[in-house]
Amino acid sequence: MIDLYYAPDNVSLIVRLILEELSIDYRAVLIDRSVNEQLSQAYCTLNPEGQIPVCVIDGQAVFETAAIALTLADAASAYGGKADALITPTLTDSGRPHFVKWLFF
């Protein structure tokens, strides 16, 4: 299972939408920004910058929204998602570089 460390009203929503669209099981872990939980020692072991969101995927913390999105989209079925869910061009698709360019823009 994937753990999504999130806070309401930020880019965490993008990651949640991708997880839902791909039917990937995940556990949502709320980070309380009102008490600066994202700056706690425990959270900073996941993301030293203290930014939200973070996904723990296969035991590895992945941060930066675009990196999380690309990781999930490229291997949805490996994370228990729909095998036929394709929300990105494949690695060999000629449109892939254009997609990646806009993803990171």
pLDDT at 85 over 80: no
CATH number, residue 66: 3.40.30.10
The predicted model scores a pTM of: 0.85
> Which tokens belong to 97?
């570089």
Calpha distance 48→82 (Å, rounded): 32
Q: How many domains does the chain have?
A: 1
pLDDT at 81 over 90: no
Q: What pLDDT score does 91 carry? A: 83
pLDDT tens profile 16-73: 999 998 889 999 999 999 999 999 999 999 999 999 999 999 899 999 999 999 999 8
pLDDT at 6 over 80: yes
Q: Which residues contact 20 (CB under 8 A, 6 or more apart)?
A: none
**In terms of residue numbers, what domain contains 46?**
2-104
Q: Give residue for tokens 């449109």.
A: 95
